[in-house]
């Protein structure tokens, strides 16, 4: 899966982003705080969640995006507006409805929904769709969309700050691992970890260590490269709190998750994610450097750029190391007027020879122009 481009308007805040094209490998979104970089990641993540997640709360958005799934190119657009005909006596009525939705496959019309009118290629009449659910979601079992839906599931929006501060409830953890065992079955071929790639990090560590020894060794070796004092990592149960949490062996002693610094935990989680994501996944990372120690940023930046050439990264960052590692030809410059600067135009900013100089020259230019 690749996100080729997106354009959108948040109808609530008024933020509008013109079409921004992404690279197949890595795109660095550059700009001042408040320019809209994070909102671009959120628009992508939210749009995909409308298709692959359950019970998504609707927000007023108008989005159009290009998606490559396998050998096919899709153009998907939708608009979410207030439900003006809401029946206040019906508890389940949504405050918002999907008032427009359209899908094209390789430039050929597939379906269009306008209010209650649905046109579908090859069908004259269709039942009225749910007003608060995407047609892609409703028709996800159709052979027409199954490949697209499977690819759209390969999106990982990494927000480590929430995940690293807590474990997984014991009952939920046990359910996950019971299902994992059923998926593995008695098959001798246990090399395909893709089916577990969407699980929480703690579950992935547990399954990798128990069933995918080679993968676990790769993960541990990368962690030890950065933290040579770590001898082993494991998942254990905190019976008092009924949680499963991460533990590590350091100099022969066991440290539990609550005793591990958030920077170290976040680094470990990043490494696990990098090694366990499904092939050809889309990865969204907002302010990659947040909460990481200086010594961690160097290695993680290198891993990010070299370890998985099948992944598509869309990243925001203000850190000189990361900025200097990603060439200007991979930048997308977002300014407060919401215009996206085409790569070939960055020279007009006079932004220097190195990425590091370029970024700070860009900031200085914006300050001179009164944009800060």
Check residue 358 and give its pLDDT: 67
Domain's final residue, options 277, 308, 335: 277
- The number of distinct structural domains making up the chain is 2
Same domain, 248 and 330: no
Report pLDDT digits (tens) over 211-228.
Answer: 899 999 999 999 998 888
For residue 188, the enclosing domain spans 163-277
Q: Does 149 fall in a domain?
A: yes
Same domain, 6 and 94: yes
Q: Scanning the structure block, which residue is given the tokens 């998750």?
A: 257
Which DSSP string corresponds to 216-254? HHHHHHHHHHH-TTEEEEEEEEETTTTEEEEEEEETTEE
Same domain, 139 and 175: no
Check residue 188 and give its pLDDT: 47
**C-alpha span between 53 and 63 (Å, rounded):** 18
Q: Does 314 fall in a domain?
A: no
Report pLDDT digits (tens) over 232-270.
Answer: 999 999 898 899 999 999 988 999 988 888 788 888 888
Same domain, 126 and 25: yes
**C-alpha span between 337 and 339 (Å, rounded):** 6
pTM (predicted TM-score): 0.81
Q: Does 72 fall in a domain?
A: yes
Cα separations in angstroms, 24 against 45, 313, 341: 17, 8, 18
Q: Does 319 fall in a domain?
A: no
Check residue 3 and give its pLDDT: 94
Q: Does 93 fall in a domain?
A: yes
CA neighbours closer than 13 Å in the CB half-sphere of residue 27: 25
Report pLDDT digits (tens) over 173-193.
Answer: 899 888 888 888 755 455 678
Check residue 224 and give its pLDDT: 92
Same domain, 23 and 115: yes
Domain's final residue, options 219, 250, 277: 277
Check residue 90 and give its pLDDT: 47
Same domain, 143 and 171: no
Which DSSP string corresponds to 185-208? TT-S-----GGGTTS-HHHHHHHH
Same domain, 100 and 194: no
Same domain, 125 and 6: yes
Pairing of strands 340-341, 331-334: antiparallel
**C-alpha span between 273 and 163 (Å, rounded):** 12
Same domain, 85 and 220: no
Same domain, 144 and 231: no
Q: Does 220 fall in a domain?
A: yes
Same domain, 61 and 9: yes
Estimate to the nearest angstrom the gap between the alpha carbon of 107 and the chain centroid.
26
Check residue 365 and give its pLDDT: 62
CB 86 within 8 A of CB 120: no
**C-alpha span between 47 and 45 (Å, rounded):** 6
**C-alpha span between 191 and 38 (Å, rounded):** 36
Check residue 367 and give its pLDDT: 60
CB 233 within 8 A of CB 247: yes
**C-alpha span between 187 and 164 (Å, rounded):** 33
- Local structure of residue 258 (DSSP, 8 states): G
Q: Does 317 fall in a domain?
A: no
Check residue 344 and give its pLDDT: 45
Residue 366's closest CA among 35, 27, 39?
35
In the chain, the DSSP E strands lie at 2-10, 16-21, 26-30, 61-69, 72-82, 96-105, 108-114, 117-120, 155-158, 168-169, 230-238, 243-250, 253-256, 282-285, 312-316, 331-334, 340-341
CA neighbours closer than 13 Å in the CB half-sphere of residue 76: 21
Domain's final residue, options 215, 245, 277: 277
145 Cβ contact partners less than 8 Å away, ≥ 6 residues apart: 136, 139
Query: Which contacts of 362-367 are long-range, i.e. CB under 8 A and separated by 24 or more positions?
Result: 362/30, 362/333, 363/32, 366/32, 366/335
CA neighbours closer than 13 Å in the CB half-sphere of residue 99: 13
Same domain, 241 and 339: no
Q: Does 118 fall in a domain?
A: yes
Chunked mean pLDDT (size 10), the chain, 372 residues: 92 88 90 81 91 86 93 94 67 76 93 84 69 86 80 70 66 87 67 81 91 92 90 92 91 89 85 88 84 74 79 85 78 66 53 62 61 48
């Amino acid at each position: 899966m690749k996100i080729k481009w997106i354009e959108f308007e948040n109808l609530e805040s008024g933020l509008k982003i013109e079409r921004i094209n992404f690279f197949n490998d890595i795109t660095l979104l550059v700009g001042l705080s408040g320019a809209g970089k994070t909102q671009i990641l959120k628009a992508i993540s939210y749009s995909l969640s409308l298709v692959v997640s359950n019970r998504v709360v609707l927000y007023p958005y108008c989005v159009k995006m290009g998606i490559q799934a396998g050998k096919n190119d899709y153009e998907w657009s939708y608009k979410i507006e207030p439900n003006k005909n809401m029946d206040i006596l019906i508890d389940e009525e949504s405050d918002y409805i999907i008032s427009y939705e359209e899908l094209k496959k390789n430039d050929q019309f597939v379906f269009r929904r306008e209010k209650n009118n649905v046109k579908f290629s090859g069908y004259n009449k269709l039942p009225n769709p749910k007003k608060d659910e995407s047609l892609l979601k409703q028709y996800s079992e159709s052979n027409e969309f199954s490949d697209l839906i499977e690819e759209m599931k390969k999106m990982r929006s990494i927000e480590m700050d929430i995940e690293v501060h807590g474990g997984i409830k014991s009952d939920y953890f046990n359910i996950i691992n019971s299902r994992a065992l059923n998926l593995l079955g008695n098959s001798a071929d246990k090399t395909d970890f893709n089916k577990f790639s969407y699980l929480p990090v703690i579950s992935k560590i547990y399954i990798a260590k128990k069933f995918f020894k080679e993968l676990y060794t790769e993960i541990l070796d990368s962690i030890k490269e950065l933290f040579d004092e770590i001898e082993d990592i494991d998942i254990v149960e905190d019976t008092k709190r009924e949680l499963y949490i991460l533990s590590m062996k350091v100099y022969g002693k066991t440290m539990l998750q609550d005793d591990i610094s958030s920077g170290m935990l976040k680094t470990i989680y990043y490494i696990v994610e990098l090694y366990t994501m499904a092939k050809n996944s889309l990865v969204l990372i907002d302010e990659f450097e947040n909460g990481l120690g200086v010594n961690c940023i160097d290695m993680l930046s290198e891993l990010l750029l070299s370890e998985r050439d099948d992944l598509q990264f869309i990243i925001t960052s203000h850190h000189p190391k990361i900025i200097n590692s990603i060439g200007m030809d991979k930048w997308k410059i977002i300014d407060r007027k919401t215009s996206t600067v085409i790569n070939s135009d960055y020279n007009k900013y006079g932004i220097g020879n190195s990425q590091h100089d370029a970024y700070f020259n860009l900031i200085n230019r914006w300050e001179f122009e009164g944009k800060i």
